[in-house]
C-alpha cells in the first residue's frame, strides 16, 4: 500500500441521522467538509414545493423550519430492508420511488465530496450495519443489493462494504501503542452494532484482517427508537396518548406511534386518518388531548415536534431536566422532561442491547473480564444510561470514545485506501 499518494476511492458512511465521507490522504484527517465547513451532512431531504427542488442537510431542516411548503424526508436509511423500498411516495405532485430518494441523497454526498476533493471518484467502500434487518438474511441481502444498485447508478463502478463498527475500529487503531481486545459499540440513529476485534499497531497495515474479527453482532435499535420512547412516555400523553374512551378502552395508539416515528409522521396528515380521529372524538371521555392533536395536524407540526423531542434527548445526556415549549400548539403549554423518565422509557431497549452484547461474547468464546477496551461511537453513544449499562457488563474494560460522528467515515477511508490503492 503506497502511503505517499491520495487514495483512489472514497469511504461513505451513509447514516440514519448523519452522513460523512472520508478520503485518505497522507498526513491529513480523512473526513471531507460537506456543509458549512462541517464534516457531517444530516441525512435529510426537503422537497421545496415553492421552488420545486430538493435541498439537503442543515439547509433542508432550516427551510422546513422556516415554514416553506414542502415535504421533509428523514431517517432515509431506515428504508433499507423495509417494505417501503419497493413502493413510492408523492413528491412535488409526482410519484417518486423510495429507492430513487436514496439515490438523490447519496448522489448529493458524492457531489459535495468531489467538489471538496477537486476530483471525481468511481470506487467506494460503503459502511453498512452488521444487520440491515434482524433475523432475515434474504431481506438483509436485498438491502445491500439496493445500495449497490443505487451507487452504480450514481457512477461508482466498484462498490464494496465494510461493517460500520469495524471501520470505527480501524479509526481507533491509529491511536494505540500495544495490542488490545476491543469491543466497539456503535449506536447510530437506526441500529446498534457491535464488533469484538483484536487491534494492534503491528497489524494496522494488513489488508486481510478477518482473523482479528472475533465476533460481530447487532440489533435494530438506535437513536430514533430512543426518541420514539421519550416521545411516547413524555410528550404524546399531552396529545391524547393513553386517553380513555367511553367504552373504557384506551384510544388506539397507531396515530401516536406514527407521530413518534420520523418516517411515518406524514401518515397522520392523511385524510383517512383525520376522518377516523374526528369520528373518535365523541367517544373520548376527556377530549383535551385529541383536540391538541387536531391542532398539531392542522399546523403540520409533527416533524417540528419530533425535532423538539430529539433535542430533548440530546439535552438530557448533559442535564437532569429539559423543558419543551409547546406554545405553537397552545398558549402556555409546555412539558418538563427528566432524565429519570428518559432512562425508564428506554430500559427495555437497553436490555436488548445488553442481551445482544452477551450473545456476542458467547459467540466469540470470550469472557466479559477479558475485554481491554470499550470503544463508543455513533451519535447516540453518549446516552448516560446506555454507557453505564454496557460498562457494567465489562468490569475490566477502559471506556474510550471516538469522534462521535466521524470514526466510521475515517475508518472507511482507511479501508478504501487498502482495497483500491
Domains of the chain: 10-177+403-420 (3.30.420.40)
Give pLDDT, residue 404: 74
In this structure, of 251-265, 351-365, 402-416, the range with the lowest mean pLDDT score is 402-416
At residue 268, does pLDDT exceed 80? Answer: yes
Q: If pLDDT is split at 50, 70 and 90, which confidence band does 357 have?
A: very high
pLDDT tier, 250 (very low <50, low <70, confident <90, very high otherwise): very high
Residues, the chain, total? 421
Q: What is the pTM of this model?
A: 0.85
pLDDT by residue (tens digit) across 217-248? Answer: 889 899 999 999 999 999 999 999 999 999 99
**Residue 3: what pLDDT?**
62
Residue 379 is predicted with a pLDDT of: 83
> What pLDDT was estimated at residue 83?
78
What are 389-415's pLDDT values in tens digits? 999 999 999 998 877 778 899 999 999
Angle at 182 between CA 181 and CA 184, to 5 degrees: 160
Q: What is the pLDDT of residue 44?
A: 92
**More confident site: 229 or 203:** 229
Q: Is pLDDT above 70 for 11?
A: yes
What is residue 207's predicted lDDT score, i.e. its pLDDT? 74
Per-residue pLDDT for 2 more than 70?
no
Among 95-99, 199-203, 226-230, 268-272, top mean pLDDT goes to: 226-230
Over residues 327-347, the pLDDT tens digits come to 999 999 999 999 999 999 999
Amino acid at each position: 500500500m503506497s502511503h505517499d499518494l491520495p487514495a483512489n476511492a472514497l469511504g461513505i458512511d451513509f447514516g440514519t441521522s448523519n452522513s460523512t465521507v472520508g478520503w485518505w490522504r497522507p498526513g491529513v484527517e480523512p473526513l471531507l467538509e460537506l456543509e458549512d465547513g462541517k464534516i457531517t451532512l444530516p441525512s435529510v431531504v426537503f422537497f421545496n414545493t415553492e421552488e420545486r427542488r430538493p435541498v439537503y442537510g442543515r439547509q433542508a431542516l432550516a427551510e422546513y423550519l422556516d415554514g416553506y411548503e414542502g415535504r421533509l424526508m428523514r431517517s432515509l436509511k431506515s428504508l433499507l430492508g423495509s417494505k417501503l423500498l419497493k413502493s413510492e411516495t408523492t413528491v412535488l405532485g409526482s410519484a417518486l420511488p423510495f429507492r430513487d430518494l436514496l439515490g438523490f441523497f447519496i448522489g448529493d454526498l458524492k457531489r459535495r465530496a468531489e467538489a471538496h476533493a477537486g476530483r471525481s471518484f468511481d470506487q467506494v467502500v460503503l459502511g453498512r450495519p452488521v444487520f440491515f434487518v434482524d433475523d432475515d438474511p434474504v431481506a438483509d441481502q436485498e438491502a445491500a443489493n439496493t445500495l449497490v444498485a443505487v451507487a452504480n447508478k450514481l457512477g461508482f463502478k466498484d462498490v464494496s462494504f465494510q461493517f460500520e463498527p469495524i471501520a470505527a475500529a480501524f479509526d481507533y487503531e491509529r491511536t494505540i501503542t500495544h495490542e488490545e481486545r476491543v469491543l466497539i459499540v456503535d449506536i447510530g440513529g437506526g441500529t446498534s452494532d457491535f464488533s469484538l476485534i483484536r487491534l494492534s499497531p503491528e497489524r494496522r497495515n494488513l489488508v486481510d484482517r478477518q482473523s482479528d474479527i472475533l465476533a460481530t453482532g447487532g440489533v435494530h435499535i438506535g437513536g430514533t427508537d430512543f426518541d420514539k420512547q421519550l416521545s411516547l412516555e413524555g410528550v404524546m400523553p399531552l396529545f391524547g396518548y393513553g386517553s380513555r374512551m367511553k367504552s373504557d378502552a384506551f384510544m388506539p395508539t397507531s396515530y401516536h406511534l406514527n407521530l413518534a416515528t420520523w418516517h411515518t409522521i406524514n401518515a397522520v396528515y392523511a385524510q383517512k386518518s383525520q376522518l377516523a380521529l374526528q369520528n373518535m372524538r365523541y367517544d373520548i371521555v376527556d377530549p383535551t388531548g385529541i383536540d391538541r392533536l387536531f391542532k398539531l395536524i392542522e399546523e403540520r407540526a409533527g416533524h417540528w415536534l419530533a425535532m423538539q423531542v430529539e433535542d430533548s434527548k440530546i439535552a438530557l445526556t448533559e442535564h437532569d431536566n429539559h423543558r419543551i415549549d409547546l406554545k405553537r400548539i397552545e398558549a402556555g403549554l409546555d412539558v418538563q422532561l427528566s432524565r429519570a423518565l428518559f432512562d425508564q422509557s428506554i430500559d427495555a431497549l437497553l436490555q436488548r442491547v445488553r442481551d445482544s452484547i452477551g450473545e456476542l461474547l458467547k459467540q466469540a468464546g470470550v469472557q466479559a473480564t477479558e475485554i481491554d477496551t470499550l470503544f463508543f461511537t455513533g451519535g447516540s453513544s453518549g446516552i448516560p444510561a446506555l454507557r453505564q449499562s454496557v460498562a457494567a457488563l465489562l468490569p475490566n474494560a477502559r471506556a474510550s470514545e471516538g469522534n462521535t460522528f466521524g470514526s466510521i467515515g475515517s475508518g472507511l477511508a482507511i479501508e478504501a485506501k487498502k482495497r483500491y490503492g
